[in-house]
Amino acid sequence: MTNAKALTITYLTWASYASLNGADKEADNIVSIKKIQKNDGKEYPYCSSQAVRRALREQLAVLGWELSETSEARQKKGAASTQCDPQTYIDDDLFGFMQADAETIKRTAPLRVSPLISLDPYRGDMDFGTNYMSLKTGGNPNIFETEIHSGYYVGTILLELDRVGEKSPGDKYELQLPGEEKYKRTAALIDAVQNLWTVGRQSRFLTDMSPKFICAALLKVKNPIFLESVKVNADGRINHNLIENTLADNSSQIIEYVIGERKDFFPENNEKYVPLGEGFETIKSWLKNVYC
């Protein structure tokens, strides 16, 4: 599979009672969630790509990978950066970095990440809370509200397979990994996607962000073909025709594809779709063939 240039995965998850990603406060006692207004005039909650990237990074650490620690800026008013050592650290390799110093050193991330956007609009639901800790000092309880949401969320990643473990001409860092190490790093990323979870807002709003449905493809080109093609109908059923049309339209560029679902999670099981765990194992088998 030497002609494989990219792996893309679009995944669908469900939040039954969530406050995934905080936004700027609209009022002192209201904790808002991030939302985007679509052309239907409704607001749709989303979890930012920065939050998704952080969640993936942290899951790599949980899986046993040593991450590149952040260091202070070397010059006044400079930005903090990681160790900028992709040869050693998986996150510097996959997520990229920039060190603004006398000489700027940067790596554009081979891993591209979309926000996790809700398919269901925000309906104005609020969670009422009271902070009683202030009573210990004789003060009044702090009353607050938090915006919450329930619905399907969809996100996409695209991994530039030909750039993992490799530097581009002119890059000012060392990076040249053997195929086996490239496979280990990309397979670890797939495990992180399968077990996606973030520590943000989980103390009171524990949410399972892991995929319940995936469309994945190994491609000759770099194109997130499923990004706008995973939809859920009003009855809770996945729009299978849209997925089939996407596969047909991109058939000349698709090397392999797999569609996986959590069986019995949706109103109907599709016989063409494999169990979710099998789908992720299939993706890792592609990576094994690409790199090894």
User: What is the residue whose two structure tokens read 């905080």?
Assistant: 22
Helices 49-62 + 179-194 axis angle, to 10 = 110
Question: Which pLDDT band holds residue 14 (cuts at 50, 70, 90)?
Answer: very high
Residue-number span of the structural domain to which 125 is assigned: 6-291
> Which tokens is 237 given?
């059923």
Least confident of 184-193, 194-203, 253-262, 281-290: 194-203
- Encode pLDDT of 228-248 as tens digits: 999 999 888 999 999 999 999
Residue 64 lies in a domain: yes
Q: Are 194 and 224 a contacting pair, CB within 8 Å?
A: no
Q: With respect to residue 229, please indicate whether it lies within any of the assigned structural domains.
A: yes
Query: What percent of the chain clears pLDDT 70, i.e. is strictly above it?
Result: 91
In a domain, 271, yes or no: yes
* Residues whose CB falls within 8 Å of the CB of residue 271, separated by 6 or more in sequence, listed in order: none
pLDDT at 79 over 80: no
Q: Is residue 255 included in any domain, yes or no?
A: yes
Q: What pLDDT score was predicted for residue 138?
A: 60
Residue 45: the pLDDT is: 92
Q: Is 187 helix (H, G, I), strand (E, B) or coil?
A: helix
Strand, helix or coil at 159? strand
Helices 276-291 and 179-194, axial angle in degrees (round to 10): 160
Encoding tokens for residue 275? Answer: 């169990």
Torsion of CA 158, 5, 87, 54, to 10 degrees: 0
pLDDT at 33 over 90: no
Within-domain flag for 23? yes
Q: How many domains does the chain have?
A: 1
Task: Give the pTM.
Answer: 0.91
For Cα atoms 151, 153, 154, give the angle at the middle one, nearest 5 degrees.
155
Position 51 in a domain: yes
Q: Is residue 153 in a domain?
A: yes
Give exposure, 229-268, as e/b (b: 16+ Cβ within 10 Å). bbbbeeeeebeeeebeebbeebeebbbbbbbbbbeeebee
Is residue 264 one of the residues assigned to a domain? yes
Vertex 186 angle, CA 180 and 191, to 5°:
120
pLDDT for the residue 262: 96
User: For residue 284, what pLDDT is reported?
Assistant: 98
